[in-house]
Structure 1
Amino acid sequence: MIAWIEGELAARELGRVVLAVGGMGFEIAVPLSTYELLPDAGHPARLLTHLHVREDELALFGFATADEKRVFETAIGVSGIGPKLALLLLSTLPVPRLVEAVRGGDLATLTRVPGVGRKTAERLVVELRDRFADMAFGETGPPAAAGATPAGRREEGAVKALVALGFPRGRAGEAVRAAAGEASDAEVEELVRRALGALNG
């Protein structure tokens, strides 16, 4: 399997990047937590990767840290949790909070993730609690970090992320503006998390 890919970041969009390596471009799906740590296009970057194989598709998923990758690979082992929903888990909740919610059976936190209802949250707790209990988390090691993003771009990026998660643009915009008012220096990932808390509250 492909453990990691390092190359020039040819494209950087919410949820998707392209790494140019040896004359080829690898399209890689990434969670918001990883997206926020990547540099602008044209700079070198390195991602830990998971190759998801289906009968009709090969898809690459990339992560800034080993913790993110382990949580993703463990989550997709749960019945009914596919790669897209696993990415939403990581995009909505930081790894420590997600792991804590599973270990503690915190269904209220888990159901804040778009697409995760009570039954799915219960299944996550039942199937992942013991697996997470045996894992040590806290490893970092992200790719080259991007500099601070201008406020307007951060807010627009957060709105686009919420729209991609299924929220109407109007509601998403209001929630992001409120989040930005509470934390003016917050990056896209934090704005999305704060806005999700308000939208799902």
Structure 2
Amino acid sequence: MIGQISGKLIGKQPPEVLVDVNGVGYELQLPMTCFYALPPLGEPVTLVTHFVVREDAQLLYGFNNQAERSLFRLLIKTQGVGPKLALAILSGMNADEFVWAVNQNDVSRLVKLPGVGKKTAERLVIEMRDRLKDWQGSSTPATDAANIDAVTSDSTFVHPADARADALSALLSLGYKQNQADKALTAVYQQELSSEELIKASLKQLA
């Protein structure tokens, strides 16, 4: 099993990254909440990973720390929640926000996430509550506000049209419907924003 990747970040196409490890490029999928904390292209990066082997694919998921990976692994133990949905959940809210929503029985917040219907949200609250009782994190999502509002961008210029297209592609890959993604992007679009900034603003709009 691949438990950690350390190398040079050579590609960023939300929600996927490409990391060069001694000449071998590893493709990883990251929750957008982890994606925002990535260094610029060409810089070293270390990600803890979860490796999934299926009949038709081998998939590598990356996280900034052990806690994020642990929550991902707890999520995929829930009935009806696979890696793709877990990735979407952790893209729509960070780990502490999710734990807070579960502890507060906030089903209405969870159903705003792509692919999470009322039954799935209720199941998440019921099944995850006991698993998260010893979670060591913030008591409310407000404690992470500085991180949520932080602006991250790459020094590489991206044409505005490409940035919007990249943001739309990322939202669709996370499970949002075309009309949802278009509406959110239209509401937050500013020409000077990078694709990552557009995705972040759109996810906040969708929440």
TM-score (structure 1 length as normaliser): 0.80
Within-5 A mapping of 1:149-188: 149=154, 152=160, 157-164=166-173, 165-168=175-178, 172-179=181-188, 187-188=197-198
What whole-Å deviation, never above 9, does each CA across 1:2-33 have from its counterpart, x for those lacking one? 22111011211111111111221111111111
Deviation of 1:195 (Å): 2.5
Alpha-carbon distance in 1 for matches of 2:65, 2:44: 16
Cα-to-partner distance string for 1:89-133 (whole Å, 9 max, x where unaligned): 000112221111111211101111110101111111111101111
Q: Where does 1:119-198 land on structure 2 (aligned, <5 Å)? A: 119-137=119-137, 148-149=153-154, 152=160, 157-164=166-173, 165-168=175-178, 172-179=181-188, 187-197=197-207
Runs of 4+ in 1 over 6 A off after TM superposition: none
Q: Is the 8 A contact 2:14 2:167 kept in 1?
A: no
Number of residue pairs aligned between Structure 1 and Structure 2: 189
CA distance in 2, matches of 1:162, 1:189: 7
Structure 1 unaligned spans of 5+: 141-145
Q: Structure 2: which 5+ runs fail to align? A: 139-143, 145-150
1:101 corresponds to 2:105: no
Return closer, same or farther for 1:166/1:190 CA change in 2, 3 Å cut-off: closer
Once residues 70 and 189 of structure 1 are traced to their aligned partners in structure 2, the CA distance between those partners, rounded to angstroms, is 24
* More moved, 170-179 vs 4-13: 170-179
Query: Partner amino acid for 1:89?
Result: I
Identity %: 35
Structure 1 residues 55, 162: CA separation in 2 closer, same or farther (over 3 Å shift)?
Answer: closer
